[in-house]
Amino acid sequence: MACSHSHLLFYPFTSLKDKLTLHYTKFPENPTNFAAQKLTPRFNSSFSTTQITGNAEVIQEPKERQKFRWVVINPEKVTESQKLAISRLPKKMEKRCTAVMKQIICFSPEKGNLSDLLGAWVKIMKPRRADWLAILKELCFMDHPLFFEISELALLEESFEANIRDYTKLIHLYAKLDRLQDAENVLLMISKRGLTCDQVILTTMIHMYSKAGHFKLAEETFEEMKLLGQPLDKRSYGSMIMAYIRAGMPDKGEDLIKEMEQQEVYAGAEVFKALLRTYSMKGDAKGAQRVFDAIQVGGIYPDIKLCCLLINAYVEARQSQKARVVFENMRKAGIQPNDKCVALLLSGYEKENMVNTAMEFLIHLEREGVVVGKEASQVLVDWFRKLGVVEEVANVLKEFAANEAAF
C-alpha cells in the first residue's frame, strides 16, 4: 500500500520503556488534552524558531504559507483519473463524506496542508465517528497514498472519538508493511494521550522487532508485557518463540513452550513447524526429534511436510538409517511419501557413500509400487555421474522417461 511519510516526529528508542516514558521529560507536567485538540492550521518546515542571546530570547516569526480554502470541486477542472476515482465512490455514502473524499482525491500540496483540509471539513460539516470510519474504509479500499497520514490525523480529532483499538489497527497495518518506525510513532501517540499499550499492541511490536532483527527490544517488550498482570495467550507466546527462532535460539523457544504448557496454553502448529525447520536446517537431529515428539503429544497430527523436515534433520546429521526409520514409520501411519522424501533419503545415502543400501531401497520402493519421481531421479543421476557409472545413468534416464510417458 503506498503512503506518504508520517507527519509525526521519530525518536530513536533503546527500549520500549523509553517509548512509554519519553513524554514525561519532553512535555510539560500538566498533560495536554489531546482529546480536545482541534485540527487547526499548522506550520510545517517553516516552523518558528527561538534563538537565545545572553538572557534574552529572540523570536523569529513563522513565514506565511498558503492556507487551505474549501472550494467545491469543479468536475471540469479535474483529471481523468480523479474523475474515475470520484465516480467509483459509494452511492450511499453520506454527503459530508462524499464532499471530503472529493477534496482528498483532488488534493495537492499546492492547495495547502492536509490537516487544514480536514480541519475545514470538521468545522463546516461536523462529522461524527461513523463518518471518519467511512472515509478511512474507502481510502483503504482505494489504496490511497494519503490513507496513513489521514488515519494518524483522525486519531487526534475529538469527533473521531479514538480508542485503543483504533491505534491497534493502525499498528497492525504498519506491521504488515514492515514499517517499524511508523509503528513506533503511533506508540508515542498512545503514550502522549495517556493510554496504556495492551497485550495485542505489544505482541505486534515483538513480531515487528524480531523481523527487523532487534531481538533485544523484542525480549524487553515481552518482559514488559508480562508486567501487565494479564495471562498471556498463545499469540503473545508465539511471537516471542518466533523471535527466539529468528535469533538462532530455538532451545529458548522450547523453554517457552514448556512455560506455556504450565499455564495450560498450547502453541499452534505453525510455531512447532518453525522450530522443527530450524533444527532440520541445522542438522540437529536430537532437537528435531524432540520437537516432532512434542507435536504429537500436543495432539497435532504430523503431515508429509513435517515428516520431510525430520528426515532432512537425520540426513544432515549423516544418520541415514534413522532417516529410513522415519520414512517407514511415516508409511505405516498412512502418510504416502512424496518425491521430496525419497530424494532426501537418497541424498543421505549419497553423503555416506551407501550405494548398496540405496539400491536396496529403490528395489523396495518398486515392490511397494512407489514411483521414483523427477527430483529423486536427478539425485541418482548426479550421484552416478560422480561415480563415473555411465551405463547406470543411462538406465535411470530411460526409466525416468518411461515413467513420464506413463503419466
Which residues, listed in sequence order, are joined to residue 60 by a DSSP beta bridge?
49
Is the pLDDT at 16 greater than 70? The verdict is: no
The total number of residues written for the chain in this structure? 407
Of the candidate ranges 32-41, 125-134, 311-320, the one whose mean pLDDT is the lowest: 32-41
* Ranges of H-type helices in 213-268: 215-226, 234-246, 250-262
Strand, helix or coil at 59?
A: strand
User: pLDDT tens digit string along 85-123?
Assistant: 999 999 999 999 999 999 999 998 888 889 999 999 999
In this prediction, residue 47 carries a pLDDT of 34
Kindly write down the DSSP assignment for every residue of 268-324, as one continuous string: -HHHHHHHHHHHHHHT-HHHHHHHHHHHHHTTPPP-HHHHHHHHHHHHHTT-HHHHH
Q: What is the mean pLDDT of the chain?
A: 82
* Type of residue at 328: E
Average pLDDT over residues 315-319: 96
What cell numbers appear for 309 in the block? 523436515
Is the pLDDT at 41 greater than 90? The verdict is: no
Gap between the Cα atoms of 209 and 243, Å rounded: 8
In this prediction, residue 297 carries a pLDDT of 87
Is the pLDDT at 45 greater than 90? The verdict is: no
Going by C-beta distance under 8 Å and a sequence separation of 6 or more, which residues neighbour residue 177? 1
Is the pLDDT at 29 greater than 50? The verdict is: no
User: pLDDT tens digit string along 184-204?
Assistant: 999 999 989 888 888 999 999
pLDDT band with cut points at 50, 70 and 90 for residue 7? very low
Percentage with pLDDT > 70 across the chain = 79
Gap between the Cα atoms of 369 and 365, Å rounded: 6
Gap between the Cα atoms of 8 and 153, Å rounded: 10
Select the more confidently predicted residue: 7 or 261: 261
What cell numbers appear for 210 in the block? 524480531
Cα–Cα separations (whole angstroms), residue 194 to 22, 31, 37, 39, 365: 12, 8, 14, 19, 67
Going by C-beta distance under 8 Å and a sequence separation of 6 or more, which residues neighbour residue 347? 315, 379
pLDDT band with cut points at 50, 70 and 90 for residue 18? low
- Phi, then psi, of 211 in degrees rounded to 5: -65, -35
Average pLDDT over residues 221-229: 91
Other Cβ atoms within 10 Å of 289 Cβ, number: 17
Of the candidate ranges 104-108, 143-147, 174-178, 391-395, the one whose mean pLDDT is the lowest: 391-395
Torsion sign over Cα 184, 3, 1, 127: positive
pTM of the model: 0.71
What cell numbers appear for 361 in the block? 531401497
In this prediction, residue 40 carries a pLDDT of 40
